[in-house]
Amino acid sequence: MSSIEISTDRLELDSLAKVRAAAAPIRITDDSRELITRCHNALTAILESGQTVYGINTGFGLLATKRISPEDLDQLQTNLVLSHAVGTGPALADRVVRLVLLLKIRSLAQGHSGVRLELVEMMTQLLNADALPVIPSKGSVGASGDLAPLAHMAAALIGVGQFRLKGKTMPAGQALEKIGLQPIRLGPKEGLALLNGTQVSTALAIDGLLRIRHVFQSALIAGAMSVDAAMGSDTPFDARIHFSRAHSGQQQCAAIFRTLLSDSQIRESHLDCNRVQDPYSLRCQPQVMGACHDQIQFVGEVLLDEANSVTDNPLIFPETEEVLSGGNFHAEPVALAADNLALAVAEIGALSERRIALLIDEHLSELPPFLVEQGGLNSGFMIAHVTAAALASENKSLAHPASVDSLPTSANQEDHVSMATFAARRLGDMVDNTETIVAIELLAAAQGIDFRRPLKTSPFLESIHTEIRKRVEHYDKDRFFAPDIETIKQLITEEADFPPSIPVTIW
C-alpha cells in the first residue's frame, strides 16, 4: 500500500479520499520535517527574547491581556485544551475523524504553527494505526476555528477522553498504550495550534462532497431510466441544444444522458409518437443536473484550497522570527461552500422526487397507476412517493444557508462567526435523504421498464435493471416495501461502488 506524502506539494481529493477510507497510510517527508523544526526553533528564540505573544505567553480571547509566567506556559496549553473540550452530540464518524487528523497534520506540517516535530509524528502514528479520537459533532460556530471539537481531539493526545481503535471505543490512555505511545505533554503554543483551525468543518464538508458526488452519479442513472420508463424523448439531450448555452456541466450531463440511453429499443419504438414535449423533470435534466455539477466542482476546489491551508492563529514566520495574529481560523469559505453543496444535493433529490411523481401518474407516464397491477386492491408506489416527497421537503429546510447566521461569542471578541461546522454537518442528513429518494426512483423506473417488456432499454441501463432485480423482485402486489427501498439505498451508497463502471467520466 503506497503512502500519501505530507510534503510541500498540494494534497488532492483522491489522496484525501484514500485516507478517509483507511486505504492508505501517510508519511511526513523530510522537507516538511525541516519546516516544522525550523518554525519550532523560531518560536523558542522568540520566547527566549522575552516578547509577549498572544496565546503563547498570554491568555486567550478576551483574556489576551493577561501575561503568563514562563513556568506556567506548558500548563497554559493543557488548561486551554481541557477547558475547551465541551462538545456535545453524537461522535463524528470514523471516516470524518481520519480527515480531521490528516488536515490538522497537513496544516501543522507547513511550518507556521511552532509545534514540535514530536507532536506531528505522534498524530501521524495515530492516524496510521487507525486510532481515532472520539470527537463530539456539536459545539463549534466555525470561528476561532473548530475549538470545542478540536479540543476533544487534542485531549485524547494528552490521555484524556476516548479513542476508537480499530472500531472499538476505549479510554485514551488505554488506546495509547496499546499502540505503544505515551500521552504527550503539550509545549508552548501546541494546545492553541491544535485547537485553532477549520479542520472539523472542512473534514465534514469534504465527506459531504464525496458522498454527494456519488449520489449525483446514481441520480443521473435513475433519471435516464425514468426517461425510458415514461417513454420520454431523447431529443432534449441533443448536443446542438446544449452547445448553444455556455455551461460546461450542462453540456457534460447532456452527453452522459445520450450515452446512457444509446441503443434503447424503448426509444426506437415511439420515435413517431404525437407527444410534443416531456415534463421538465425529464426534459430539463441536463440543465438542472449540469448546474449542480458545476457547483459541486467549484466547491471541490474551494475545499481543496482549505485542506492545503494553515488555519491556526497566531502564525509564525521563521525567516523574520515574527508572530502575526490574524484570522485564518474563520471558516467562512467552508461555510459558503457547504451551503452551495446543500443547495445542489437538495436539487438532486427534488428533481428525482418529481420523476417519481411522474412515473406513478398514469396520465403522464401511461403506466399502471402507482406502478402496480390491480390498483385499488394494491397501493403500489403510492406511499413510497410520499416518503420521497417528505425527504425532499426536509432537504429544502436543511438547505437554508447556515452562513447567513452569526452569534457573537467570547464576550463580543469573536463578534462574527461562520457557522461552517453545522453548514457542513447537515450535509450528512441531506445526502441520506437524497440517497433514499434516488433509491425509490430506481425502483420505480425499474418497475416502469418491466411494464415496457418485451422492449428493452439501452444495454447499459439493462445492466442496471439487472442489478436491481438481483436484489429486489418485480412489485406484482403489495408487500412490506421498506426493506426493498433500503436494499437499493445500500446499493447506491458510496461504499457499494454502484455502478461498477459507468461508461462516461463525470468528474
Residue 322 pairs in a beta bridge with 317
- Note whether 20 and 42 are within 8 A (CB): no
Spatial CB neighbours of 285, under 8 Å, sequence gap ≥ 6: 220, 223, 227, 236, 253, 257, 351
Which of these is catalytic: 17, 42, 54, 460? 54
Establish whether 54 is a catalytic residue: yes
Amino acid letter at 173? G
CA 492, CA 482: separation in Å to the nearest integer?
A: 16
- Note whether 276 and 74 are within 8 A (CB): no
Quickly count: other Cβ atoms within 10 Å of residue 366's Cβ: 13
Q: What is the DSSP letter of 90?
A: E
**Residue 347: exposure state from Cβ atoms within 10 A (0-12, 13-18, ≥19):** buried
C-alpha cell at 432: 441520506
C-alpha cell at 446: 425499474
The C-alpha cell 445520450 sits at 258
CA 119, CA 113: separation in Å to the nearest integer?
A: 12
Residues classed as catalytic: 54
